[in-house]
Amino acid sequence: MDAIGHDTWLHACERTRQTNCIKLFLSCCCQDKRHEYSRAAPRHKRCAFPNIPVKEFTVRISRFVSTAIASAVLLCAVGAAQAEITTYTSQSAYLAAVGNTGVDTFDDLDVDAYDGPLDRFAGDYAYTVSAGPESSTLYGASDDFSDVWLSSDNRLDLISFDASSPIAGAGGFFFGSDLFGSSTPAGYLVLTATDSTGATVSYTLENPGFDSFVGFVSTDDLLTLTMTAEDQPGVWATVNDLHLSVAAVPEPSTYGMLLGGLGLVGYMARRKAKKA
């Protein structure tokens, strides 16, 4: 304390709570002669770091903070690296995995041809449906003219549902229809989902019926869902009750586990810094 008196240091700390006050304290008490002041001063004013030079103390704090930040970033990176698309063949399981869901029943369509693409909504979620490459025409199909489905005009076409709103899941009831738009047995349908990371998952739905549900849920934004019957004679790929969903809201316990994990990482980094 030869370079600065006790009163001067206390006066400086009374004027500011900024970093300068902390640096001033360290420069005063973390020198060779600061021990006398630390022992003589009241307990709440004693230096808490009697044997650590300023430079070494600063480096340790910096390492601890850097380690904690790096660990948090690593956890986020691991979560991003594990992004994936999950396939569900049960409507109830799909709905349990997503948040709010909108459904397009297609009951506003007539059993007729429509020039595509069509801009539509499933609840609050906008999307565009298109067909190709043989024909861009879409077709409203039905068994009874009351419950209407969506199909294509050309059986060889791929039907694509492109999300215009941010969604995490898409699904529906997929089956085959015939030349007249009535439901018909199909050997299989191929459904493919693609998300914003470029991840793609295809699922072959074998022997689909009117109640065959398939849904896809991504950990990122889901961009596109397609369906095709490929070259099956007399079979047109058809969808009813298209579901579009946002991601499920994490439970409070999930946030608690994340915070607890970050706290544990920070504690371990601090212990390692102390041992060093």
Residue 257 lies in a domain: no
Residue 132 region, left (φ>0) first, then alpha (ψ -120 to 50), else beta? left
- Contact between residue 171 and residue 218 where contact means Cβ atoms under 8 Å apart: no
Claim to verify: residue 32 and residue 88 sit in the same structural domain: no
Residue 72 lies in a domain: no
Claim to verify: residue 40 and residue 114 sit in the same structural domain: no
Claim to verify: residue 95 and residue 229 sit in the same structural domain: yes
Please report the pLDDT score of residue 251 as a whole number: 54
Claim to verify: residue 160 and residue 236 sit in the same structural domain: yes
Please report the pLDDT score of residue 254 as a whole number: 52
Residue 44 lies in a domain: yes
User: d(Cα 5, Cα 108) in Å, to the nearest integer?
Assistant: 86
CA-nearest of 5, 48, 59 to 13 is 5
Average pLDDT of span 150-164? 97
Residue 232 lies in a domain: yes
Claim to verify: residue 124 and residue 225 sit in the same structural domain: yes
Claim to verify: residue 3 and residue 119 sit in the same structural domain: no
Residue 274 lies in a domain: no
pLDDT bin (cut points 50, 70, 90) of residue 262 is low
pLDDT bin (cut points 50, 70, 90) of residue 31 is very low
pLDDT of 206-259, one tens digit each?
Answer: 999 999 999 999 999 999 999 999 999 999 999 999 999 999 987 555 555 666
Total number of domains constituting the chain: 2
pLDDT bin (cut points 50, 70, 90) of residue 160 is very high
In order, the DSSP letters of the chain are --SS-HHHHHHHHHH--SHHHHHHHHHHHSSTTHHHHHHHS-GGGS-S-TT--HHHHHHHHHHHHHHHHHHHHHHHHHHHHT--EEEES-HHHHHHHEEEEEEE--TTS-SSEEESPEEEEETTEEEEEEEESS--EEEEEESSSSSEEEEESSTTPEEEEEESS--SEEEEEEEEE-TTS-EE--SEEEEEEEETTS-EEEEEEES--TT-EEEEEESS-EEEEEEE--S-TT-EEEEEEEEEEEEPPPPHHHHHHHHHHHHHHHHHHHHHHHH-
Residue 106 region, left (φ>0) first, then alpha (ψ -120 to 50), else beta? left
User: d(Cα 23, Cα 52) in Å, to the nearest integer?
Assistant: 14
Claim to verify: residue 184 and residue 242 sit in the same structural domain: yes
Half-sphere exposure at residue 125, Cβ-oriented, CA atoms within 13 angstroms: 26
Give the mean pLDDT of the chain. Answer: 78
Claim to verify: residue 21 and residue 89 sit in the same structural domain: no
Average pLDDT of span 85-93? 98
Question: Is 88's pLDDT higher than 80?
Answer: yes
* Range in 1-15, 64-78, 114-128, 137-151 with the lowest mean pLDDT: 1-15
Q: What is the CATH number of the domain that holds 235?
A: 2.60.120
Claim to verify: residue 99 and residue 35 sit in the same structural domain: no
Residue 237 lies in a domain: yes
Claim to verify: residue 3 and residue 94 sit in the same structural domain: no
Residue 69 lies in a domain: no
Claim to verify: residue 4 and residue 94 sit in the same structural domain: no
Which tokens go with 167?
């969604």
Claim to verify: residue 105 and residue 214 sit in the same structural domain: yes
Domain membership of residue 36 as a residue range: 1-50
Average pLDDT of span 180-199? 97
User: d(Cα 240, Cα 171) in Å, to the nearest integer?
Assistant: 10
Per the model's pLDDT, the better-predicted residue between 74 and 233 turns out to be 233
Residue 126 lies in a domain: yes
